[in-house]
Amino acid sequence: MTKVVNILVASVGGQGGLTLSRVIAAAAVMAGYSVRTGETLGMAQRFGSVKSYVRIGVDTPVYSPVFEPGEADILVGMEVAEAYRNHHYLRPMGLAVLSTEEKPPISVSLGKAEPVTMKKLIEALESHGAEIIIINAPRLAREAGNPRAANMVLLGAMNAAKRILPDNAVEEAIRAILRGKRAETSIKAYYLGKEYTGKHKPSKEHWEDKAHASEQT
């Protein structure tokens, strides 16, 4: 079989999940790969569940913009409940790159549904043997000077673990899509995420950052 990398980005509308999938796609094109993404745009998707698919054909053209549950090589979870909602997309032994950010859905706030904890998410992912990276992406994004760049921190973490996209392609893609100062701080966030992951191998053992819920700002 030829090599196609399937990535699922799970996020809450407004977090930058769609921008992340577009940056990955643009970087993949710049690196000379074939690429397709599938996403649903429009509609007031702010604060709704957003799922975007990215498929990179390293040495083969890709056709379908989407894939099925159990077929993601990488799950990027920008939010805990959304990562949980989509964890069944990850193939056995796949990689999960998770942000500690939580945005409780209205059903939880109204007391009509049980919240998802990071512990529950980790257990679910471990049941299919996932390799797990957990990172406080909002904090690193703020460090980079761009609170909205948590998505780029996660891209850095993903690339540190899997080395799919060359750094210069990522930089070029970020500059093409975001432009200006936001692009530079996003690139910084990307490298912070990459370095942090390279240095700390942040996995569940290192996950002690309990401050996430109160640290939303």
Partner 1 sequence: MGNEAIARGVVEAGASVVTGYPGTPSSEVIETLQRLGQGLGIYVEWAVNERVAFEIAYGAAIAGARSMATMKAPGLNVAADPIVSAAYGGVDAGLVVLVADDPGPHTTQTEQDSRWFAHVAKLPMITPSSPQEAKDFTVKGFLLSEALSLPVFLRTTTRVNHAVGEVVTGEHSEPRWARGFRKQVERFVRAGMSWNLERHRWLNKQLARAELVAEELGLNRVEGSGELCVVTEGSAYNYVVEALGELGLGARVIKLGLLHPFPRSFVSRALTGCERVVVVEELDPYVETMVKKLVAEEERLRHLIVLGKDEGLLPLEGELGPGLVRAALAKAAGLEYEPVRRESPRAPPRPPPLCPGCPHRGTYLGILIGISRAGYRRDEVPVFGDIGCYALSVGEPLRAIWTEHSMGASISMAVGLKLAGFRNPVVATIGDSTFFHAGVQPLIEAVHKRVDILVVVLDNQVVAMTGHQATPAWPRTETGRETKPVRLEEVIRSIGVDNLVIVDPENVDEVADAVAKLLRTPGVNVVIARRPCALLDARLHGVRRRYRVVEEKCTGCNACIAATGCPALYRTPGGKVAIMEADCLGCGICTRFCPYNAIVPVEEETR
What is the helix (H) or strand (E) element at residue 20, kind and residue range? helix 17-30
Q: Hey, what are 83's tokens?
A: 């990562």
Q: Name the amino acid, one letter, at 144.
A: A
To partner 1, the closest distance from the beta carbon of 174 in angstroms equals 15
Are 130 and 95 spatial neighbours (Cβ–Cβ below 8 Å)?
yes
- Mode of pairing for the β-strands spanning 90-99 and 131-135: parallel
To partner 1, the closest distance from the beta carbon of 186 in angstroms equals 17
Which of 60/168 has CB closer to partner 1? 60
User: Which residues does residue 132 pair with via DSSP β-bridges, in sequence order?
Assistant: 96
Which of 10/95 has CB closer to partner 1? 10
Give the separation between CA 178 and CA 187, rounded to whole angstroms.
Answer: 10
Binding positions for partner 1, rule: CB under 8 A: 12-14, 21-22, 25, 29, 34-49, 62-71, 81-82, 84-89, 103-116, 124, 147, 213-214, 216-217
Which of 84/190 has CB closer to partner 1? 84
To partner 1, the closest distance from the beta carbon of 94 in angstroms equals 12
Which of 199/216 has CB closer to partner 1? 216
